[in-house]
Amino acid sequence: MKNTFEHDPHRPAEIATLMETVGVAKAAMPAQQMMVLALLAGAFIGFGAAAYTMVMTGVDTSFGPARMLGGVIFSLGLILVIVGGAELFTGNALMVMAAVERKISLKQLFRNWAIVYVGNLIGAVGLAVAFGFSGVLDAPMGATAVKFAEAKANLPLQEAFVRGALCNALVCLAVWLTFAARTVTGKIFAMLWPITGFVLLGLEHSVANMFFFPQGWAAGADVSASDAVMNLIVVTLGNIVGGAGGVALAYRFAYLGSNKA
């Protein structure tokens, strides 16, 4: 019986408690460690975005099955983050659960978000610069990189915000589901489908865009810095709303709030 229970998935109420505990640990992490793990996460998501760019090279980027395959490949990024261990801004939206429960302060929450966001940005941009020097973007992949960057820069801000909210709802659900699994294989399959879904649907992930814009510039994209920054700001706000509000607060009230006498 013991072995059976060890492989049973955690129930949603258990996940909520685990998520709260993890939020406390993340908030207490030393800044130097947090920054290093954030740098890694930015690079990890960048690897997934680069692989997605290559998969979509030479095909109709609006073709559903091709986008689905691209989503599976893009999942590499979150797999590296979760299994390898790293700090990702979008996933850390779930720390709101611990903040609402007053297990961490708003100052601790915003400290984590600020350090991790900057670290993700540096890691993603650094990887894009490395790809620029690698020669990979001189090939047909570069044309796809340009197309992605210019399309994101021209996305209306209202659409960028809503796509950002929907995207991080799925990303945070992917992270949530990994807490249900007790094995690495289970965690990978748990996160695979929500991430594939958001890529398939063309939603917007702020950390991925931190890579897509400099990758596009390295390939010759005609995108102004102001347009890229505006996209990142709006998508980031959408990511916070979708992850913190759409997932974290909903599950907090469903499973932690109901436990209050």
Domains and CATH numbers, the chain: 2-259 (1.20.1080.10)
CA 5 to mean position of chain CA atoms = 31
User: Sorting pLDDT into bands at 50, 70 and 90, what band is 2?
Assistant: very low
- Chain segment 183-212, per-residue pLDDT in tens: 999 999 999 999 999 999 999 999 999 999
Query: What is the residue type of 43?
Result: A
Contact call for residues 69 and 52 (beta carbons, < 8 A): no
Would the pLDDT of 259 be above 60? no
Give percent of the chain with pLDDT exceeding 70: 96
> What distance in Å separates the CA atoms of residue 8 and residue 10, rounded to the nearest whole number?
7
State the pLDDT at residue 258: 52
Does the reported pTM lie above 0.85?
A: yes
Higher pLDDT, 4 or 104: 104
Q: Cα(116)–Cα(79) distance, rounded to whole angstroms?
A: 18
The pair of structure tokens assigned to 92 is 């850390």
Please give the pLDDT value at position 5.
53
Eight-class DSSP state of 91: G
Confidence grade of residue 261 (pLDDT, cut at 50, 70, 90)? very low
Q: Do residues 216 and 145 lie in contact, with contact meaning Cβ atoms separated by under 8 Å?
A: yes
CA–CA dist 178, 190 (Å, integer):
6
